[in-house]
Every structure is written in structure tokens, then in C-alpha cells.
Amino acid sequence: MAFEMSSKSVDLVKRTFEKDVLSAPYKLYEIIANFSFDGLPQRRNDVYLNSTDPFPVNDPYHGIYVYGVETCAGARVLHISGQVGVSEDGVLPADFYGQCKQAILNVEAVLREADMTLSDIVKMSFFLVRREDMDILVEVRKELLDGVRPAITTLFVAGLVSPDWLVEVEVVACAE
């Protein structure tokens, strides 16, 4: 037994389908795009990142450190090899401040080549050869990376490839 509908009923079904069903994905996208709630992943440079701070980050690391960063699948991920304080023209500052600043500027140059910025950094590892440079590291990070809160690891090592190098910076960044 075949089911038949009048042309008026067919038109009603078509209009309802076009209005409600076909537009549903766009309505859902609009809701998602405009939705924000503390604790849910927040959009940062077109990649959803969820910063995880199970307890407050104390000074002097507040604003430059997060306990964890979650990224979504499908993001472009850039792993940057360890950068040292040697400038493009081969100059190595004698002091830790100059080397650390230059190493981060070198990271920024690599990010730029990949159409990324410092705000795309999700993980940083710092390798220092002297403990007494830790306060200066925090100073340089606040100067160049204030508001950028990646997951951070800082290690004190016996030495780097060149005995003149005082710091090496390794980075992972994500962007859309």
C-alpha cells in the first residue's frame, strides 16, 4: 500500500525541512561560536586551548605560567628546536639577560616563519646552566611573554653544546 500526500502537504514538509533541519547546523554553529563559560576551552588564535590551573599560580610566575594546556585535534603543531642566544648575525651577548632575550627573539622568528606568534606557544622548556639566572629568566619572560601562559619546564643542566651558552629554549606551538 503506497502512501500519498497532497501537493500542499509536500510543500509544507519541504518548507519545514528547509527552515528547521537544513538551518540547524548553522544555528548550532552560531550558538557554539558565541558561547563562553569559565572553565571551558577558550579560543586563542583560532585554536581551542584549555588552560588547567587546579590551584592558583603564585608570584613571580602568575601570568607567565600554567599547570597544563590542552589543545584540540586538527591544530597545526610546531616543535621548535632549542634556540640559544646567538643572533642572526652571529653575535652572542656575554650576559644571561641578553642571551635569554635573544633566544626568545629567535623563537619568535621561527614562529613567524610558520605564520604563528608568541601567543601560540603551548609548551616551553628552558635549559639553564646557572641557578642564579632564574630570577633573570622570570624577568625576561615577563618582559617578552607577559600574558602568554604555556606549560613550562625549567631545567638546570651541567652545560650546553657551547660552553659560552647560558640558556637554551625549546618550544611547542599550536595554531589553526
The answer on 120 and 47 residing in a single domain is yes
pLDDT score of 25 more than 60: no
The answer on 161 and 145 residing in a single domain is yes
91/63 Cα distance (integer angstroms): 31
The answer on 61 and 85 residing in a single domain is yes
The answer on 22 and 61 residing in a single domain is no
Q: Is 144 exposed, middle or buried (0-12, 13-18, 19+ CB in 10 A)?
A: middle
- The reported pLDDT for the residue numbered 24 is 52
The answer on 75 and 1 residing in a single domain is no
Instruction: Kindly report the average pLDDT of the chain as a whole number.
Output: 81
The answer on 92 and 60 residing in a single domain is yes
Cell of 126: 628552558
Q: Is 49 exposed, middle or buried (0-12, 13-18, 19+ CB in 10 A)?
A: buried
Q: For the chain, how many structural domains are there in total?
A: 2
Q: Report, as an integer, the average pLDDT of 139-165.
A: 95
The answer on 2 and 79 residing in a single domain is no
User: pLDDT tens for residues 85-125?
Assistant: 999 999 999 999 999 999 999 999 999 999 999 999 999 99
- The reported pLDDT for the residue numbered 167 is 98
Structural domain containing residue 26: 1-35
The answer on 103 and 31 residing in a single domain is no
The answer on 85 and 147 residing in a single domain is yes
**118 vs 6, which has greater pLDDT?**
118
171/152 Cα distance (integer angstroms): 9
**120 vs 1, which has greater pLDDT?**
120
CATH of the domain at 134: 3.30.1330.40
